[in-house]
């Protein structure tokens, strides 16, 4: 085993601006962003940055209108409805108007009983609690496929329509399927998503942060 | 475009227990966990579950002692030092003793000036603020390579030694390098990490949650 002294001083980039510049240069060099409409490329770059995988670009799909639809909604004071606390934690607050509400209903005390009575997950039941705030809101889903399925069903059934849906639920059961359903754009609503199993809170909030960056 | 009615009723799994069972069955069927020591497989399964990628197994590396070292520390009342709020948000609180502190120093008001004076990132400067709580703690890094580099330097220079390091910083600058340095185990300290660019808060907190699950 090497001596501890062998690792000091480690040579690594410490300057935040240089780190960002080199990260984004690597992404631009290695990722094929040409498959995406220009409007979605800044979000794609941030999503790739959040997961360390340049090939994510091939799975990103969205309506270019998601950018202005989200920005207009946020400027107008719309809340952001998040499916879990990790997504909310990933949002860069300073991009947003001071009054913007970041709402997570997952841990509302009524959710477990509601989930049981609906015969679904807590994540899907939590979406029911979005109803009073859903019209015109920006939706941000980073974890639960059932939250996205439930949201699509709720809207398709005539429920309130959000301004935009940014969704990257992750995993092996329902993630690819719920995102394919969103991407089929049956709802005729601005959206941004990632095809397949990959996703997660960091990717979802990175997409949102890229879109809200130029709000002012 | 399909009619809205064409998506209702969607057929998807709604039962949380069935979703978990099918997720873990998929991971067991598709992931090659045999490359990992048995002690690390439960953590690996949760890490894969958090990112939707079965091939992550090949990049997971750790000292099998990280499991009992973390559990013993948590039972003894050790705090968990997290590099960012997303990691803290991902921790399943009910696994832990009531008194366990989940500490994030990144947004401490002294951090920006400290980062400037040290010529490093806010994430690395925040690690300096861990010093009074670092001895015997469990460290959980899910975002910043510079936090991991700084921690390794601090310990190598004779600073306080945590009980275990679980680290999955992500990205294109320093992530692979900082994790390779951790994996070289120069510090002779129990660790768990993911080689390469991939990582993130969800993977880090999933590893921690798998380890803390059997604490009681």
Mean pLDDT of B149-173: 97
Cβ(B78)–Cβ(B131) under 8 Å? no
pLDDT at position A139, please? 98
**Distance between CA A142 and CA A166 in Å, rounded?**
8
Determine phi and psi for A174, rounding to 5 degrees.
90, -15
Whether the pLDDT of residue A12 is over 80: the answer is: yes
Whether the pLDDT of residue A4 is over 60: the answer is: no
Cβ–Cβ gap B202/A201 under 8 Å: yes
Token pair for B8: 């209702």
**Which residue among A49, A122, A150, A179 is the active-site one?**
A49
Q: Which residue from A113, A119, A171 is spatially nearest to A142, judged by alpha carbons?
A: A171
Q: Does B181 touch chain A (CB under 8 A)?
A: yes
pLDDT tens for residues A100-142? Answer: 999 999 999 999 999 999 999 999 999 999 999 999 999 999 9
**Distance between CA B206 and CA B51 in Å, rounded?**
10
Q: Which CATH architecture has domain B59-212?
A: 3-Layer(aba) Sandwich (3.40)
pLDDT tens for residues A161-172? Answer: 999 999 999 999
How big is the A-B interface in CB pairs under 8 Å? 178
Token pair for A78: 């719309």
pLDDT at position B204, please? 98
Q: Does B7 touch chain A (CB under 8 A)?
A: yes
The distance of A180 to chain B (nearest Cα, Å) reads 12
- For residue B114, the SS3 value is helix
Q: Which residues contact A131 (CB under 8 A, 6 or more apart)?
A: A154, A159, A160
pLDDT at position B5, please? 42
Query: What residues are paired with A165 via a beta bridge?
Result: A139, A191
User: What confidence category does residue B10 fall into, taking pLDDT thresholds of 50, 70 and 90?
Assistant: low
Q: Which residue from B43, B28, B34 is spatially nearest to B191, judged by alpha carbons?
A: B43
pLDDT at position A28, please? 96
Cβ(A173)–Cβ(A148) under 8 Å? no
How is chain A classified by DSSP, letter by letter? ---GGGGSS------HHHHHHHHHHHHHHHS-GGGS-GGGHHHHHHHHHHHT-GGGGGGEEE-THHHHHHHHHHHTT--EEESSHHHHHHS-GGGS-TT--EEE-TT-TTHHHHHHHHTS-HHHHHHHTTHHHHTTPEEEESS-HHHHHHHHHHHHTT-PPPSEEEE---SSSSHHHHHHHHHTTTT---EEEE-SS---HHHHHHHHHHHHTT--
pLDDT at position A6, please? 47
Cβ–Cβ gap B149/A12 under 8 Å: yes
User: What confidence category does residue B141 fall into, taking pLDDT thresholds of 50, 70 and 90?
Assistant: very high
pLDDT tens for residues A29-57? Answer: 999 999 999 999 999 999 999 999 999 99
Q: Does B6 touch chain A (CB under 8 A)?
A: yes
Mean pLDDT of B121-142: 98
Mean pLDDT of B44-73: 98
Chain A CB contacts of B182 below 8 Å: none
pLDDT tens for residues A139-193? Answer: 999 999 999 999 999 999 999 999 999 999 999 999 999 999 999 989 999 999 9
Cβ–Cβ gap A23/B186 under 8 Å: no
Which positions 60-89 of A are in contact with B (Cβ < 8 Å)?
A: 84-86, 88-89
**Distance between CA B214 and CA B174 in Å, rounded?**
33
Cβ(B194)–Cβ(B133) under 8 Å? no
Q: Which residue from A158, A124, A134 is spatially nearest to A81, judged by alpha carbons?
A: A134
Whether the pLDDT of residue A98 is over 60: the answer is: yes
Which positions 125-144 of A are in contact with B (Cβ < 8 Å)?
A: none
Prediction pTM value: 0.95
Cβ–Cβ gap B12/A174 under 8 Å: yes
pLDDT at position A10, please? 65
- For residue B133, the SS3 value is helix
Whether the pLDDT of residue A9 is over 80: the answer is: no
Token pair for B4: 């809205």
Q: What share of chain B has pLDDT > 70, as a percent? A: 95
pLDDT at position B216, please? 73
Cβ–Cβ gap B23/A157 under 8 Å: no
Whether the pLDDT of residue A8 is over 50: the answer is: no
Q: What share of chain B has pLDDT > 90, as a percent? A: 93
- Other CB atoms within a 10 A radius of the CB of residue B169 amount to 31
Cβ–Cβ gap A51/B2 under 8 Å: no
pLDDT at position A11, please? 84
Whether the pLDDT of residue B135 is over 90: the answer is: yes
pLDDT at position A73, please? 98
């Amino acid at each position: 085993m090497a001596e501890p002294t062998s690792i000091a001083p480690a040579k690594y980039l410490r300057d935040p601006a240089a780190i960002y510049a080199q990260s984004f240069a690597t992404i631009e060099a290695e990722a094929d962003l040409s498959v995406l409409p220009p409007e979605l490329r800044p979000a794609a770059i941030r999503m790739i940055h959040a997961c360390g995988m340049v090939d994510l670009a091939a799975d990103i799909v969205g309506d270019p209108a998601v950018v202005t639809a989200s920005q207009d909604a946020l400027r107008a004071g719309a809340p952001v409805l998040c499916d879990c606390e990790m997504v909310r934690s990933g949002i860069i607050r300073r991009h947003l108007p001071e009054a913007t509400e970041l709402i997570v209903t997952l841990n509302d005390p009524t959710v477990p009983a509601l989930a049981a009575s609906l015969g679904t997950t807590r994540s899907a039941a939590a979406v029911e609690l979005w109803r009073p705030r859903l019209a015109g809101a920006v939706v941000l889903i980073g974890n639960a496929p059932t939250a996205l399925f439930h949201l699509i069903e709720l809207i398709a059934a005539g429920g309130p329509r959000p301004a935009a849906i940014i969704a990257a639920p992750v995993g092996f059961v329902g993630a690819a399927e719920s995102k394919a359903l969103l991407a089929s754009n049956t709802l005729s609503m601005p959206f941004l998503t990632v095809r397949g199993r990959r996703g997660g809170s960091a990717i979802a909030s990175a997409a949102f942060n890229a879109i809200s960056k130029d709000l002012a």
